[in-house]
Amino acid sequence: MELTGADIFVRCLAEEGVEYLFGYPGGAALHLYDALYTQDKVQHILVRHEQGATHAADGYARSTGRPGVVLVTSGPGATNTVTGIATAHMDSIPLVVFTAQVASALIGDDAFQEVDSVGITRPCVKHNFLVRDVRDLAVTIKKAFYIATTGRPGPVVVDIPKDITAHKTEYFYPETAVIRSYSPVKKGHQTQIKKGVELLLSAKRPMIYTGGGIVLGEASASLTAFVRELGYPITNTLMGLGSYPATDSLFLGMLGMHGTYEANMAMHECDVLLAVGARFDDRITGDLAQFCPHARIVHVDVDPSSIGKTVPVEVPIVGDADTVLQDMMKRVKASDTKPDSHALKSWWQQIEQWRGLKCLTYQKSDELIKPQYVLEHLYELTGGDAYVTSDVGQHQMWTAQYYKFEQPRRWINSGGLGTMGFGLPAAMGVQFAHPNDTVVCVTGEASIQMCIQELSTCKQYALPIKVVNLNNRYMGMVRQWQEFFYEKRYSHSYMEALPDFTLLAESYGHVGFKITKPSDVEGVLKEALGMKDRLVFMDFITDQKENVYPMVGAGKGHHEMHLAPCNAVVPTDRELA
Amino acid sequence: MSDRHIISILLENEAGALSRVAGLFSARGYNIQSLTVAPTEDETLSRMTIVTSGSERVIEQITKQLNKLVDVVRLVDLTEGPHIEREMMLIKVRAEGSLRDEVKRLVDIFRGRVIDVTDAFYTIEVTGTGTKLDAYLETLPTGSIMETVRSGVSGIARGEKGLQV
Ligand SMILES: Cc1ncc(C[n+]2csc(CCOP(=O)(O)OP(=O)(O)O)c2C)c(N)n1
């Protein structure tokens, strides 16, 4: 049977098992929207800004492992998705973003709402397509989903001119995508794996460092078993949190710029480092010249270009994290060499000494709400089992430090791009995917205002998200850097003219609480978490003088951490008034 | 150490494939000395030759990043093995009076050809390695060159090895 491009589009999404399509209509997309109107397989979620659609699809993808899907119109609809696409690209999140385009005959004429969407998105996608013929539409969609979800995942953009959505052709959806130039590796090279295992077993001071690749590669169970088999210490990157249970004694917490003392010191002193699904970025390594100075490195990654990019590696292993870890496990179990228990014992003694410093201790207060205090209670009240999204800034780092994630896909944040405005729309995608679970968005008063319009989407679809706004009246993270590195010149980092967030939430039809006293923190959190069918916006008025510790300054070595949690030197609201 | 490398690529003959490669080089700050691209006997494929330079680590990243592009089908760093490189150059040179013979003599030495003649100018075609073309340009009398057009380098591996799908 002949179908229009628009009907083919909807059929293909249904074939791919797409539950939700996050989108926003407009001229070039109208045939597509018409086709959506007359079907009930794919549910369209109307956001309030296209950036919100991409972050929502991203949150859906991060929390499920399935691709997030977006539909927007041409021109401004497409450009509004760029931040969200780049966010997904940096963290290797599978998205398929459909951008409508002006009619083929108008392309290149500066037509109304024309932009070169393929050109604009090229540097921040895994791949993109412009569909030139309706007969290519179905196969292009098949390829888009295949590319987005395999190998190292990532966003794929499909640009569809309006006339193509009206043209008709015979509908056929291929079972598989065949792309001769694209064949992701799964299995690691056995000789390399053997070398890697031998090196690991020869270690006196071993360390395991894993990242988002464990989450993306569904390798948590294999990793956990492997680490426990060896009894080696493990740390996670910001993107990897939850892929190894945070309460396990082998876990040293997060590493890097705001990592724990024990994790960073163990990195600095280790003699063999196993890295899996992590990419040695600058927030992890600090000064490359001082990074892991004593370590021989084994690096497992599905993307060969991640290996040896910033740090030289002795044993590179290209392969899917789960498959490689299982192969390594088999070899460890079969090996006659066992971990050097004597060396391991003294290594652990050293680590326990570092751990004994309790680097995450902060000064409690009866008067001012400490952000860490809110997060500790949030952790306890949710049993470490909530889906937690965050925006970008101090609150993000504190959440990573104080919320102990036990499972993968629970911690949803923009690590690579650091996109403020991510948290709330991402939480929407998570809540759609997990309607009966607790979804919390931890944010700051600056970040939340970047996509605050999505509170309206939350109302329309009755999403009972719990927003924890750690309101310090500063772009806290910017202010912290200005304090440390710009002699306390707080240039444009104070947030003036803030709205009353409780009234704002209420005007969108939600519940709003303002919390000013530490003694109210637990009660309000409890009450809010108990309101299963309402979005609750909790505006915590927090201590403005808190800084995130430990901190490895940009370009410093892991062993050069700022530790002593001293208060910030900063004018408070009262002093500024 | 910054070495010169010739990377030869079989690329899907798709709109946008060239800009993906060019965009990769500019976005990551890799340098391109020359880039040539043209269709092959298989109309679905283009052959691209890139001359670049960088440390071993940078060249390794360049080849890995290129391989990651979905449009890149096959790739080889020709400089890793025996290979042949050629570049073609068209030059318009002032050739009047006594210069006329001198210029012609140099063309012969470099095995070039005069392909167009006016009273005052020769247009010359020379083919060879990049170094040979540079050397030829050096020999021409100062101020005599009106225009040069270079094709950029193309290359192929020696012997029976070939870059194929
Ligand atoms: C879109 C965007 N613009 C700017 C920045 C730079 N930036 C990083 S953190 C930050 C401040 C965030 O302030 P807030 O949301 O209040 O969080 P806090 O640090 O106070 O917890 C800024 C401006 C960014 N990450 N993203």
Please confirm, yes or no, whether A450 is among the known catalytic residues. Answer: no
Residues A443 and A99 sit within 8 Å (Cβ to Cβ):
no
In one letter, which amino acid is A545? K
The reported pTM is: 0.96
**Sheet with strand A439-444: strands edge to edge:** A411-412, A387-390, A439-444, A466-471, A536-541, A511-515
DSSP string, B86-137: EEEEEEEEE--TTHHHHHHHHHHHTT-EEEEE-SSEEEEEEEE-HHHHHHHH
Residue A287 Cα, ligand 1 centroid: separation in angstroms?
24
State the catalytic residue, choosing from A207, A267, A450, A477.
A477
CA distances from A382 to A310, A337, A437 (A): 38, 43, 10
Question: Ligand 1 within 6 A of A475 CB?
Answer: yes
Question: Ligand 1 within 6 A of A451 CB?
Answer: no
Calpha distance B24→B48 (Å, rounded) = 14
Question: Ligand 1 within 6 A of A371 CB?
Answer: no
Residue B15: list chain A partners with CB under 8 A: 130
Is the interface score ipTM higher than 0.90? Answer: yes
Instruction: Inspect the interface and report whether the beta carbons of B16 and A122 lie closer than 8 Å.
Output: yes
Pick from B27, B65, B165: CB nearest A305: B65
Question: Ligand 1 within 6 A of A541 CB?
Answer: no
Calpha distance A511→A503 (Å, rounded) = 9
State the catalytic residue, choosing from A2, A41, A112, A229.
A112
Residue B121 Cα, ligand 1 centroid: separation in angstroms?
64
Residue B165 Cα, ligand 1 centroid: separation in angstroms?
48
Question: Ligand 1 within 6 A of A413 CB?
Answer: no
Calpha distance B30→B65 (Å, rounded) = 11
Instruction: Inspect the interface and report whether the beta carbons of A127 and B73 lie closer than 8 Å.
Output: no
Residue B19: list chain A partners with CB under 8 A: 119, 122
Please confirm, yes or no, whether A561 is among the known catalytic residues. Answer: no
pLDDT in tens, chain A (577 residues): 899 999 999 999 999 999 999 999 999 999 999 999 999 999 999 999 999 999 999 999 999 999 999 999 999 999 999 999 999 999 999 999 999 999 999 999 999 999 999 999 999 999 999 999 999 999 999 999 999 999 999 999 999 999 999 999 999 999 999 999 999 989 999 999 999 999 999 999 999 999 999 999 999 999 999 999 999 999 999 999 999 999 999 999 999 999 999 999 999 999 999 999 999 999 999 999 999 999 999 999 999 999 999 999 999 999 999 999 999 999 999 999 999 999 999 999 999 999 999 999 999 999 999 999 999 999 999 999 999 999 999 999 999 999 999 999 999 999 999 999 999 999 999 999 999 999 999 999 999 999 999 999 999 999 999 999 999 999 999 999 999 999 999 999 998 999 999 999 999 999 999 999 999 999 999 999 999 999 999 999 999 989 999 999 888 888 888 886 655 566 777 666 6
User: Which residues, in sequence order, are bridge partners of residue B6?
Assistant: B51
Cβ-count burial of B49 within 10 angstroms (0-12 exposed, 13-18 middle, 19+ buried)?
buried
DSSP 8-state assignment for residue A67: P
CA distances from A164 to A12, A43, B158 (A): 15, 23, 47
Residue B72: list chain A partners with CB under 8 A: 181
**Looking at chain B, which residue has its C-alpha nearest residue A121?**
B20
DSSP string, A151-209: SS--EEEEEEEHHHHH-EEE----SS---TT-----SPPHHHHHHHHHHHHT-SSEEEE
Instruction: Inspect the interface and report whether the beta carbons of B68 and A303 lie closer than 8 Å.
Output: yes
**Looking at chain A, which residue has its C-alpha nearest residue B27?**
A123
Please confirm, yes or no, whether A477 is among the known catalytic residues. Answer: yes
Cis omega (within 30 of 0) on the bond before B82?
no
Q: pLDDT of A53-66, one tens digit each?
A: 999 999 999 999 99
Calpha distance A423→A412 (Å, rounded) = 8
Residue B163 Cα, ligand 1 centroid: separation in angstroms?
49
Residues A202 and A296 sit within 8 Å (Cβ to Cβ):
no
Report H helices in A356-494: 371-382, 394-402, 423-433, 454-460, 476-485
Instruction: Inspect the interface and report whether the beta carbons of A126 and B65 lie closer than 8 Å.
Output: no
Q: How many CB pairs under 8 A join A and B?
A: 37
- Which of A130, A156, A181, A305 best probes binding to B when mutated, by most B CB atoms within 10 angstroms? A181
User: Which residues, in sequence order, are bridge partners of residue B77?
Assistant: B7
DSSP string, A499-555: --HHHHHHHTT-EEEEE--HHHHHHHHHHHHH-TTS-EEEEEEB-TT----SEE-TT
For residue B164, the SS3 value is coil
Nearest atom of ligand 1 to the alpha carbon of A419: 26
Calpha distance A276→A299 (Å, rounded) = 6
Question: Ligand 1 within 6 A of A420 CB?
Answer: yes
Q: How many CB atoms lie within 10 A of CB B142?
A: 5
Instruction: Inspect the interface and report whether the beta carbons of B19 and A122 lie closer than 8 Å.
Output: yes
